[in-house]
Amino acid sequence: MEYREFGRAKVKVSAIGMGTYYDILWIATSYILSYQLSKEDKITALKKGIELGVNLIDTAEIYDTESLVAEAIKGYKRDELFIATKVSPTHLKYDKVLKAAQRSLEKLQCSYIDLYQIHWPTPLVSIKETMRAMENLVDEGKVRYIGVSNFSLSQTKDAEEALSKHELVSNQVEYSLKVRDIEVNMLPYCDLNNIVILAYRPVAHGALANPSGKLKVVMNEISQKHGGKTPAQIALNWLLNKSKVVFPIPRASKPERVMENAGAVGWRLDSKDLTKLETEAG
């Protein structure tokens, strides 16, 4: 596994992480296709990732998977893992943040959370009030680092300014070959300021794992060039090439999928590959 410094946190974290949001797999036209994995499938997938050296695991209060993560990490050294979770946007009042964090700690069966993130911004609660609670959690040793999720650039800057003692280390947003909005201003800002981008939906709900048309042709060419890498591995490697602060967090759905995702590191697309992919993915 390849490890990178997690931005301002200055700790080594696996370049590829594991997401634990399992409810909706795919959205196509007017249909929502959902699928059910057994609890055992999910735990086995997470364990396989840890065994492969993936130490970044992302969950959230509203995913209802914190207890599942707790089961998956049993028997592994806690200080070798980097566990990230999120507080619901309905729990951003000062006291509610503290209570939500305690519930998450209990479900995770951990004494601390590595990265605690605000899941979504809300105009209903002052960011200063929320960040005061987040900093209190860091001071108490219950949280190591503070992050946000789904924040715009202006909201990210407001979150930074609301912190008085600790730094904002990350923003979790959608980012893939198919969804590149953050490249306009968010990614350049985070790259310049060493703020991590946790990229969710990095294979675009599976669309990049099963490409079509010209993108499929290009990915097949790149696959042959790089020893048979799969489309998903190519899509994840593309993200790793965009910036040192980008950490893709594909869903850990099945052991074989986690193994495939882990194969996205340890090699690099070249500039010609990147140009072809970006041209055809658009």
The two counts, helices (H) then strands (E), for the chain are: 10, 12
Give pLDDT tens digits for 64-110.
999 999 999 999 999 999 999 999 999 999 999 999 999 999 999 99
* Cα–Cα dist 241/231, whole Å: 15
Q: Residue 26 has what pLDDT? A: 40
Q: Residue 277 has what pLDDT? A: 95
Residues near 38 by beta carbon (within 8 Å), at least 6 away in sequence: none
To the nearest 10 degrees (0 to 180), the angle between helices 39-51 and 255-262 is 30
pTM of the predicted structure, to 2 decimals: 0.93
Q: Residue 32 has what pLDDT? A: 40
Q: Residue 30 has what pLDDT? A: 34
Give pLDDT tens digits for 202-241.
999 899 999 999 999 999 999 999 999 999 999 999 999 9
Q: Residue 38 has what pLDDT? A: 84
Q: Residue 36 has what pLDDT? A: 61
Give the residue ranges of DSSP H helices in the chain: 39-51, 66-73, 94-108, 127-139, 153-162, 186-193, 213-225, 231-242, 255-262, 271-281
DSSP 5: E
Q: Which of 22, 35, 63, 76 is catalytic?
A: 63
* Cα–Cα dist 62/65, whole Å: 8
Among the listed ranges 21-30, 146-155, 182-191, 204-213, which one has the minimum average pLDDT value?
Answer: 21-30
Among the listed ranges 34-38, 214-218, 262-266, which one has the minimum average pLDDT value?
Answer: 34-38
**What percentage of the chain reaches a pLDDT higher than 90?**
90
* pLDDT above 80 (res 34): no
Specify whether the CB–CB gap between 81 and 58 falls below 8 A: no
What is the mean pLDDT of the segment spanning 249-278? 95
Distances (CA, A) of 224 to 72, 227, 260: 35, 5, 16
Please tell me which residue, 32 or 131, carries the higher pLDDT value. Answer: 131
* pLDDT above 70 (res 25): no
Q: What is the mean pLDDT of the chain?
A: 94
* Cα–Cα dist 152/173, whole Å: 9
Catalytic residue list contains 63: yes
- Local confidence band at 171 (pLDDT 50, 70, 90 cut-offs): very high
**Two tokens, residue 252:** 């850990």
What's the fold here for domain 3-207+244-268?
A: TIM Barrel (3.20.20)
Q: Residue 35 has what pLDDT? A: 52
What is the mean pLDDT of the segment spanning 165-178? 97
Residue with tokens 């997401």: 19
Indicate the burial class of 171 (C-beta count within 10 angstroms; 0-12, 13-18, 19 or more): buried
* pLDDT above 80 (res 16): yes
* pLDDT above 50 (res 29): no
> How many angstroms from the chain centroid is the CA of residue 201?
9
Q: Residue 33 has what pLDDT? A: 40
